[in-house]
Structure 1
């Protein structure tokens, strides 16, 4: 079987957001960089982000004097403070400028979310493709890294690879960037292989769970609720303590629940479930009113329309599909023709409780194929703060989702890709210059 070999000063494994940014930055700083990519094109996962528009970043935190601090609050890690030094070097404003220099102007839409002006994810990849060509950065496509070894001698890193045609290729380098992503969207190449390579070099993996993903619920009437949307507050409770709350449009599905607030809550739910804790989702259908205001409103409403059935009295107040399920939950189901004037205080009290705190048992999340990010990954305790170089293996750097850093929904995970890729490349350049 034919075997060839190639050597570069820096090899970057993965042509996703972090790998592409690292390659462009490294080459601009005079580093001989090359990319190894298992797919047949760059940035395959980037195409799937932002509903095909590519939510590049989010400018809602880019105000005031503590922009990086505000931005860092959008991220989660076993080391809560770990993302901040990276974001201080390359935050939202730097990302906007970076893409401007590549020829990609951005626009801001809802909630500060920023997209390419064309609103096409493909434009981002086209710009990166041109940038790589302008800088003569080689990309070795359809090449899978099977193994990596480190030596204190030169070359430090030896990568055993295989092409689509089963050709064996050996790549060597003095420096290595792992930009392989996590476990989300395995069809795009983010299949967790980067964890295996990092572990072979001595690193530790923090148990990964799906992040920004839908929740599965144990509830008998999900089919009746499926498709219902409403504006409300969702809260994750563990041992009756609220550990995170989010507001926005919530959607019931035939398996459970979705919508932006649920996606934001999912990380907390996933990790608590992994610890075998009981996780409860409490939904507030009337978050615009306090419980006292809600009671006053419905008491007045039912007083006026006491001659109507309870079900009829709620038309126009609640989604029509919600009404029979809520009445059933409140114990009014067997009395569907019950008039408002005949409601007992016990019935009313239970109905008020459901409107303000309707509780569901969370059994699981949807899997990594439905998740937008991976929570968990290579332990950041083993990386140097602010440079992303391995503390265990000199010359090894990590960037992007492969490490235990993940962001909230809204462009923050791609921002981490750009930030970490850029910072790692600059740190390497500084090292090489003796700075």
Structure 2
């Protein structure tokens, strides 16, 4: 079997790995650089980011300037939208991938697609020996420096399998607990009638055992199992389960969601608004009370729940003030018990990864194995929605590429 020899081998052809390869080859053109990718094509997961638009970065990311400089250097024309989110001006994720592929080819970087690294070992204190499987059979590869940029376990439909964690562990690294992050939350109850309903809301995730709470405001969308939307995704990363002697259902029950469907109104203020609307429509037209206030399906559900909880079917003979107070409270504070977080297929990122203290925070080189680097989702980093995770993927890759170029002859 013929040995393939390179100065720098990147395992994983996603955003982070490609940024590392391009940066390294640009800064040290004499180096031989290769990318090993198990998929047929490079950057497959990039196509799914930002709903196909590619929320490529965020101006609020700590190292935004470095990411922006790299993206512009490969020809990406960026535009900024709300909350610092950056997209290619074309709104096309495929354009980001196309430009990355262009530079990989232009710089003469070797790409081994449909190839999976199965083992990495350090040969004494010098080079690395990499075993890989391709369609042609087993490959033996030698490299002076190696970057593991294989991605996490989220979105396996794009090729993510978590194989990089296995390789890292074999090399002596600790992997912190892995779980799906930035995913929809399923709740106790029936949500079929609300499926697809969207509403601007303030959502609070609370641990009922500790009292610790996390808060997000944004568009919430009901699913057939619970709630979704960016605000929910961001909250999901804070669900950490205590599984000591308990099953998953019991562990998830530690958490509840409290939803304020009209965060722009104080409860008393909302009560006054509802009271005026009662005067306008009359007490025999309750069905019109919330028309144009909140989505119709949600209004119907809230009124039905209020009737069940308080025995109020109508208020023609009841206490108007009491009804209005209860309705305002229900709109401002509806609670659901958490049943679960959607799994790997629907999660955007992986929470957990190679333990932070085992990786140099500046170069992303292993503190255990010299010449070994980690980047992207393989690291123990999961940011909120809005381009932070892709920013971190690019930034860590850029840092690795720069460091390898400087330290290799």
Q: Give the structure-2-normalised TM-score.
A: 0.91
Q: Does structure 2 retain, via aligned residues, the 8 Å contact 1:328–1:334?
A: no
Aligned to 2:42: 42
Report the 3-state secondary structure (helix = DSSP H, G, I; strand = E; otherwise coil) of the residue aligned with 1:377: coil
Measured in 2, the distance between the counterparts of 1:186 and 1:421 equals 21
2:262 is the counterpart of 1:282? no
What 5-or-longer segments of structure 1 have no aligned partner? 62-70, 73-90
Measured in 1, the distance between the counterparts of 2:316 and 2:401 equals 68
Aligned to 1:392: 368
2:315 is the counterpart of 1:339? yes
Out of 130, 142, 147, the residue aligned to residue 159 of structure 1 is 130
Q: Rate the CA distance shift 1:212–1:273 in 2: closer, same or farther, 3 A.
A: farther
Measured in 1, the distance between the counterparts of 2:197 and 2:223 equals 8
Report the 3-state secondary structure (helix = DSSP H, G, I; strand = E; otherwise coil) of the residue aligned with 1:235: strand
Measured in 2, the distance between the counterparts of 1:340 and 1:317 equals 22
Aligned to 2:7: 9
Alpha-carbon offset, residue 199 of structure 1:
0.2
Measured in 2, the distance between the counterparts of 1:340 and 1:315 equals 19
Q: Does structure 2 retain, via aligned residues, the 8 Å contact 1:309–1:336?
A: no
Aligned to 1:421: 397
Aligned to 1:84: none
Measured in 2, the distance between the counterparts of 1:233 and 1:273 equals 26
Q: Give the structure-1-normalised TM-score.
A: 0.86
Measured in 2, the distance between the counterparts of 1:416 and 1:142 equals 26
Measured in 1, the distance between the counterparts of 2:50 and 2:124 equals 43
2:289 is the counterpart of 1:313? yes
Q: Does structure 1 retain, via aligned residues, the 8 Å contact 2:7–2:408?
A: no
RMSD: 2.1
Alpha-carbon offset, residue 375 of structure 1:
1.1
Measured in 2, the distance between the counterparts of 1:340 and 1:383 equals 68
Q: Does structure 2 retain, via aligned residues, the 8 Å contact 1:375–1:405?
A: yes
Aligned to 1:412: 388
2:161 is the counterpart of 1:185? no
Aligned to 1:147: 119
2:98 is the counterpart of 1:122? no
Q: Rate the CA distance shift 1:200–1:339 in 2: closer, same or farther, 3 A.
A: same
- List per-residue Cα deviations over 1:37-80 (Å, max 9, x = no partner): 10111101111111112111122x2xxxxxxxxx24xxxxxxxx
Aligned to 2:17: 19
- List per-residue Cα deviations over 1:185-228 (Å, max 9, x = no partner): 212221100000000001111111111111111113x1122121
Measured in 2, the distance between the counterparts of 1:422 and 1:243 equals 36
Alpha-carbon offset, residue 149 of structure 1:
1.2
